Chain A
């Protein structure tokens, strides 16, 4: 039997096991215990989307997810979405289209866009706008981000 506070799940394709208090949210576990700081803490309250990760492939706000509830599940963070060499097509499109400025919101956008394109490989502009409407960016004005996602989807 695992001890009361041991939590195990798959993180970026690899099994992990570590101690976890019930009151820990996934964002804190990732950033503070697992030192995966690619996932950002913006608002910590569900409004900004900076903390998005994939849980069993679903885009999920890690700041509002109790870490213990990912027991046995697969969690993918921006570190796991980034290939060992180079960038993913979505990441490359963000760079090429100037869709990142300060970069703080970028991991959340990449996670959301990656999930969107997996579920819907050729989304319309309206579908892209809707999909990213829970991610806030203070710098780009969104136009470049939408362009980048369209490019990653092969729309232009």
Chain B
């Protein structure tokens, strides 16, 4: 498989990268580890004539308990013992992304911005040309829900749900300067599988910031996938909690792999604060989360199964987070 020709740019500062992206708006993509972008390019999905490599920008690197540069490789985050000790949920999630060979190149920034996925989209040009293209690339209808003019492609990054429940923020650089926003605000909850981010064209993700408060929370991530060593999530549930004398001091829950963006459920978890979390309460929460999610048939497993697994995985994630907290 060959890539269509493109120009490759190698800026060495964030400002230079952002300037290039601004000048080439609509005709360029950033490339970090390339493990998501290049397979899509090889399948001729939304290719652009310019690529801006983020490889040579030192500011996008560096790891500490407070900040992880966007270009940090997943394999390096995974083997960072200090990070794993303080953020076990992050270690869970990073270690479940793709395969070790993919994690060797894949970055955390690329993972947060990974392209949404769909059975009808992640296919070769030949395959797609046979069926007819869809809204997300080259076409004008959706094969999953044909009666709507909306794309249901699934957000399939494993790291975002955990960073959401840890209240991570992301630092974004654009032509008009820098801003720091909660990770949740990076995703467009009112968009769809195509308009999935709130980033303006040419905006660059610089780093993930973890607040002081995240360190006391015990988070866990549970992932449903077909082949345990390979596949993208069919569902990913992250839970973070603090317990105080058997009562919930705080609890956050986020789900990825089901909708077009990773979603936090504060409205369901906030009322649990101060409660002793009985099995009935956990079951009630798990069922409430399940009722809010509507998977469509665009991945391998059937939507009804994925939906029912939401309830199971929420219960498992809470049980494990609680065990960790009791240590």
Partner-B contacts on A (CB < 8 A): 21-25, 28, 44-47, 49, 52, 58-61, 64-66, 68-69, 112, 130-131, 133-135
B279 within 8 Å of A (CB atoms):
no
Q: Which of A46, A59, A69 contacts B100 (CB 8 A)?
A: A59
The CA-CA distance from A24 to B8 in the complex, in Å, is 11
The CA-CA distance from A23 to B34 in the complex, in Å, is 12
The CA-CA distance from A68 to B1 in the complex, in Å, is 18
Partner-A contacts on B (CB < 8 A): 1-8, 31, 33-35, 38-39, 42-43, 51, 53, 55, 75, 98-102, 104-105, 229-230
Q: Would B53 and A134 count as touching, CB distance under 8 A?
A: no
Q: Would B39 and A45 count as touching, CB distance under 8 A?
A: yes
Q: Would A23 and B101 count as touching, CB distance under 8 A?
A: no
B3 cross-chain contacts in A, Cβ below 8 A? 23-25
Tell whether A21 pairs with B5 under 8 Å between CB atoms, given A45-B39, A61-B105, A65-B34.
yes
In the assembled complex, 15 residue pairs joining A and B whose CB atoms fall closer than 8 Å, in A order, are: A25-B38, A45-B43, A46-B38, A47-B99, A49-B101, A58-B75, A60-B101, A60-B104, A64-B38, A65-B105, A66-B34, A66-B53, A112-B101, A130-B100, A134-B99
Q: Would B102 and A46 count as touching, CB distance under 8 A?
A: yes
Tell whether A134 pairs with B98 under 8 Å between CB atoms, given A22-B6, A28-B2.
yes
The CA-CA distance from A47 to B43 in the complex, in Å, is 14
| Nearest Cβ on chain B to A110's Cβ, whole angstroms | 14
Q: Which of A47, A49, A60, A68 contacts B105 (CB 8 A)?
A: A60
| Nearest Cβ on chain A to B46's Cβ, whole angstroms | 15
| Beyond A22-B8, A25-B38, 11 extra complex contacts between A and B, CB < 8 Å | A23-B4, A25-B3, A60-B101, A61-B101, A61-B102, A64-B39, A65-B105, A68-B8, A69-B55, A134-B229, A135-B101
Q: Would B53 and A44 count as touching, CB distance under 8 A?
A: no
| Nearest Cβ on chain A to B195's Cβ, whole angstroms | 26
| Nearest Cβ on chain A to B102's Cβ, whole angstroms | 6
A52 cross-chain contacts in B, Cβ below 8 A? 101
Q: Would B99 and A49 count as touching, CB distance under 8 A?
A: yes
User: Which A-B residue pairs are the 7 nearest by beta carbons?
Assistant: A134-B99, A134-B101, A22-B8, A133-B229, A23-B3, A45-B39, A44-B1
